[in-house]
Each structure stands twice: as C-alpha cells, then as structure tokens.
Amino acid sequence: MIDAQASLNMPFAGTVSFLAFMVVAPVVLIGMRVYLEVYVQRWRQLDAKCHTRRGLRTEASSCAMVATSPKSKCSRNGRNDMAEAAPLARQRSEEFGEEERTLRVELAACYRIFDYLGWTELIYNHISLRIPGSERHFLINPYGLWYKEVTASNLVKINLEGNSVGESARPVNKAGFIIHSAIHEARDDAHCIMHTHSTAGMAVACQKEGLRTDNFYSAILAGRVAYHDFEGITVYPEEKERLVASLSDRNFAILRSHGLLTCGSTVADAFHNMWLLQRACEIQMAADSSGRAVAPVSEEAIAASQQAVQMMMQDRAYGRLEFEALIREIDRIDDTYKD
C-alpha cells in the first residue's frame, strides 16, 4: 500500500521539481550574465593598464636596439623615428600659446580617460573643444588613432568646416565632425562636446521609451535629456539644423538608435554630464536584464534630486574634482598624453 501511494506521488513530485527549475533557472542565468558583464568590464580596465605598461617597456627595449638592429620597428631607413618624433612634438608644443597648451593637455587627458573607462568605438567618435578667441577654432582627435594614442601635440586644430588650421601630420574625420560643428556654431556656451557609442548608451537609444526616470542617475536627469531622431549615419550637413533644434539649450542628448551626446562649458563639465548619462543608461540596462519589475521613483524624489543637482551644476567647480581624480589615475598608468 505504501509503495503504491509513493508511485502515485512520483509524477506529481517530478512536475513540481520541473516547475521550480523553470522558475529558478532564468533568475540564475540573468544573475550570472550581470556578474560576467561586470567582471569583463573590470578585466578590460585592468588589461588596459597592463597593456600600457607592457607597451612602454617593450617600446623602450626595442628602441634601445636601434643602433645594433637596422630592422628594428623603431628604425626606418636607418633613422630612429621615435627620436625624431620627440623634437617634433616639442617644436609643435612651442607653437602653442600657454592657454592653448593647457587646453590641449586637458583634452588629451580626457581621451585617455575615455579609453580607460571603455567609452571607445575603435578609432571613431570625438571629443571637441573650442579654443578661446574670435577665430572659432577647435581641437579634435586625429583620424585613425586610438584614444590611447592621442597626445596634446597631435590634437588637430580645425575650423567650423572641419578643415585643419596650420600643419597636422594626420587628417580629421570631417564627416564625423558634422554633429560637433553644428552645436559649436549654434551654442556659444558649448565649449566642449562629447559623443559616444557605448553599448549601454546605444541600447537605451534603441529603446522606444528612451531613458526612464527610475534609477538614481536618471532621476537626476529627468526633463534634462533631449532626443534627436535617427536619420542615418550623420554625414550630411542638412541634418545640422534639425539636430540643433532637437538639442535646444540642453546639455544632455540621446541620439535615437545612435548614441549619447553631452555638452559643457569646460572639459570637466562635459565629462561629468557624460558620466551621469552613461551611468543612468548602464543602470537601466542592468535592471532590465534581471527580468524583474523595476521600482518607480516618486515625483517628490525626482524633484528633490533635481534641486540638489541644480545647485551642484551652478558651482563653477562642477565635475572638476571627479575629472582631476581620473587624471591622477591616468598619470599613474601613462602620462605621455602630455607630450
């Protein structure tokens, strides 16, 4: 009789176990996915540090062999290219005024910070910075270099048409400057403009609802983010007017199906804006990946957050402490951006 009852209960027990597995397994898999994403991001940052240090040691060792090895990678036709490049960099540096030199170093540091944080897309995207003066000239990265290869002296000075001003060893991506030139021309307050194709930023840009206001960072940005509809790869000047109209006077923008954009009166200002927007997107995507309901943020909490951040943004040192802390980290890794 006991054996018969146990036999009857076995199918029921198996069904319960199967249902429990079907409920628990997705949660476990989602948790593993989030953990792996965080682990991979940290691994990339640590690998970047090690790669930079290994690269510096390898380069130094290779160049030390130039005298005995005419085929060394630091030698071309019997000449030491690195030895020739150093005086050239110093010569270029002497051409800049003190103010421009300071801006070049700061912008080059920002490119290295973007690389450190993983906010890169091969050799693409830009961070542009206006040089004070009536000429309306700007600094931008040379086309074809990694962000980690950008230095103060190899930044290219250009005009609003994207043409180089003075000598430059490398060209600029004129098509990629369309977004930046449009805003620089229309907004006198937008001295620095940043544009990224980060995975989290592009993912939110692809979502119909865009950035919600249900996390710590997005609550701060409630009502501050502009949206611009995707018109294809941004290479046509005709889009400039519509882009400027979409942005209006805001310093945060999500380019739908495309990426993120921020503006600022200084490099530190624009960087801190990008940090807030990027983190808001990262948290939204991480929360959504859990498959669980996201707790809403009350209107009162949003208002309190906005009031607090408004006071922060009015401070002339807005974003400066965070930016300088990251510069110190970059200096510990590789300070050649100052060259």
Which of 40-49, 132-141, 189-198 shows the lowest mean pLDDT across its residues? 40-49
Q: Which pLDDT does position 41 carry in this prediction?
A: 56
Share of the chain above pLDDT 70, in %: 72
Which of 10-24, 45-59, 176-190, 225-239 shows the lowest mean pLDDT across its residues? 45-59
Q: Which pLDDT does position 45 carry in this prediction?
A: 52
Q: Which pLDDT does position 9 carry in this prediction?
A: 53
Residue 276 reports pLDDT greater than 80: yes
Tens digit of pLDDT for each residue in 236-269?
999 999 999 999 999 999 999 999 999 999 999 9
- 42 confidence band (pLDDT: 50, 70, 90): low
Cα 253 from Cα 264, distance rounded (Å): 12
Reading phi first (left if > 0) and then psi (alpha if -120 to 50, else beta), residue 144 is in left
- 141 confidence band (pLDDT: 50, 70, 90): very high
- 160 confidence band (pLDDT: 50, 70, 90): very high
> In the predicted model, what is the mean pLDDT of the chain?
80
Mean pLDDT of 164-175: 85
Tens digit of pLDDT for each residue in 69-114?
333 333 333 333 333 344 444 445 567 889 999 999 999 999 999 9
Q: Which pLDDT does position 74 carry in this prediction?
A: 35
Tokens 């950008």 belong to 150
Cα 237 from Cα 214, distance rounded (Å): 36
Cα 242 from Cα 252, distance rounded (Å): 16
Q: Is 54 helix (H, G, I), strand (E, B) or coil?
A: helix
Which two tokens mark 293? 């309901």
Q: Is 58 helix (H, G, I), strand (E, B) or coil?
A: helix
Residue closest to 259 by CA, chosen among 203, 206, 197? 197
Residue 23 reports pLDDT greater than 50: no
**Angstrom distances, CA of residue 130 to CA of 40, 66, 136, 276, 315:** 35, 40, 7, 22, 21
Tens digit of pLDDT for each residue in 218-240?
999 999 999 999 999 988 999 99
Q: Which pLDDT does position 250 carry in this prediction?
A: 97
- 175 confidence band (pLDDT: 50, 70, 90): confident
Share of the chain above pLDDT 90, in %: 60
Cβ pair 203, 281 in contact under 8 A: yes
Q: Is 210 helix (H, G, I), strand (E, B) or coil?
A: coil
**Angstrom distances, CA of residue 13 to CA of 21, 24, 44, 263:** 12, 17, 46, 60
Mean pLDDT of 284-300: 95
Q: Which pLDDT does position 14 carry in this prediction?
A: 53
**Angstrom distances, CA of residue 203 to CA of 200, 229, 256:** 5, 15, 9
